[in-house]
Amino acid sequence: MRVTFPHMGNLFITVKGMLQYLGVDVVVPPPSSKRTLTIGAKYGPEFACLPLKLNLGNFIEASEKGADTIVMAGGCGPCRFGYYAQIEHAILKDLGYDMKLIVLEPPQKHLSKLLAKIKELSGNSSWWHIFQSIRFGYQKAQAVDEVEMAAFRSRPRELTPGSTEKAYTKSLEMLDRADSQIALAAAKRNADELMSAVAVDNKKTVVKVGLIGEIYTLLDPFSNQYLERTLGRLGAEVDRSIYLSEWVNDHIFMGMVKGVRTRKEACEAAHPYLRHFVGGHGQESVGSAVNFARAGYDGIIQVFPFTCMPEIVAESILPEMKADYGTPVMTMIMDEHTGEAGTLTRLEAFVDLLTRKKEVKEALCK
């Protein structure tokens, strides 16, 4: 059994780490590229959202590298994603790819089924070993998130253009290579050192932008046209409403880890505007926008794939929140376009708006 899984930003570091710890033979698909997208768009249904097409491209490219089993998350929300694993599997079958599918359904609805699937995947390892590997994966996710956060801070302030990117790439490589608890602890220390060694101008005033939206396009730089990096280069410090480790805590550990942001907090903050689960992260997006506005962020950018229902609901509610807090919100819809000029224009204009607004505000306060 050679196992593969879809790409979603740096998710591969966590999943690969966890599966290898379990002793599973892993095939990481090549990073999403134009080829991945071309393959996915060719075989995927036209009306499906971007994540399905990229997943499909990832699986086909992984199969070329020898993968024969797919691990994919399931779901049971109003969001179509819950059905994607089966759809993708059916498409692959029609195309003649004979791959086995293991769907991991959310634990709150299908706990026994999930446990059975994990047991199957692990080749009957002991539960203690399985627990250890999940913990190892979670620790990797945390370490990756810390590196990402450090990059968010130093990108707009770096003195040498590109120095953050270099440190960031190298740090992630180190974390990816770590294959034991001890190696991971060392890699974490080295990554931390590397990230803090980036020379920055601490006095520089930067605008702060909160990113909210659909999880895939939010976490996957290829699908969001490198939003975080571009914003950093334009002089904006960013933060995200979702980090992988937080998601794991919310959805796999059922919020057992304390002292981190949770989905519950975001949903509570959404309460004056949206009291209902609307699928995906729609409710969390509204709540996170409120939290960013309350925390004094200069602006908020919502990102989602074209036709994403939960986020369309959130988008139509955000103007109300904006009217209450006065924080500018911009929505970016991602699809197959790879030309970056349009994205850059919007981001540049948005950062201009925030900078100017901040200047006026500070001048008034003086």
Partner 1 sequence: MKGYIGIDVGSVSINIIFIDDGGVVAEAIYLRTQGQPIAMVQKGLKKLSGRLPAGSKVRGVGTTGSGRNLAGIIVGADAVKNEITAHAIATSQVVPGVQTILEIGGQDSKIIILRHGVVTDFAMNTVCAAGTGSFLDQQAARLNISIEQFGGIALQSESSVRIAGRCAVFAESDMIHKQQMGCGLPEILAGLCEALVRNYLNNVGKGKDILAPVVFQGGVAANVGMIRAFEQALELPIKVPPYYNVMGAVGAALLAREAAAKRGYSLFKGFGISNMKYKTGSFECAGCSNLCEVVQVTEDGKVIARWGDRCGKWSNAVIEEKIS
Q: How far is the CB of 360 from partner 1 (least distance, A)?
A: 6
Long-range contacts from 186-193, C-beta under 8 angstroms, 24+ separation: 187/143, 188/143, 188/146, 191/143, 191/146, 191/147, 192/146, 192/150
Instruction: For 133-199, give the DSSP string.
Output: HHHHHHHHHHHHHHHHHHHHHHGGGBSSTTHHHHHHHHHHHHHHH--SHHHHHHHHHHHHHHHHTS-
User: Which of 35, 276 has the CB closer to partner 1?
Assistant: 35
Q: How many residues does the chain have?
A: 366
For tokens 């969390």, the residue is 284
Instruction: For 279-332, give the DSSP string.
Output: STTHHHHHHHHHHHHHTT-SEEEEEEETT-HHHHHHHHHHHHHHHHH---EEEE
User: Which of 129, 322 has the CB closer to partner 1?
Assistant: 322
Q: How far is the CB of 31 from partner 1 (least distance, A)?
A: 5
Q: How far is the CB of 326 from partner 1 (least distance, A)?
A: 9
User: Which of 16, 263 has the CB closer to partner 1?
Assistant: 16
User: Which of 272, 319 has the CB closer to partner 1?
Assistant: 319
Q: How far is the CB of 92 from partner 1 (least distance, A)?
A: 22
Q: How far is the CB of 243 from partner 1 (least distance, A)?
A: 22
User: Which of 93, 337 has the CB closer to partner 1?
Assistant: 337
Q: How far is the CB of 106 from partner 1 (least distance, A)?
A: 30
Q: How far apart are CA 134 and CA 121, in angstroms?
A: 13
User: Which of 226, 247 has the CB closer to partner 1?
Assistant: 226
Q: Are 325 and 288 in contact (CB under 8 A)?
A: no
Contact positions vs partner 1 (CB under 8 A): 30-31, 33-35, 161-162, 165, 169, 226, 229, 306, 316, 318-319, 328, 330-333, 335, 341-342, 344-346, 348-350, 352-353, 356-357, 360
Q: How far apart are CA 353 and CA 366, in angstroms?
A: 20
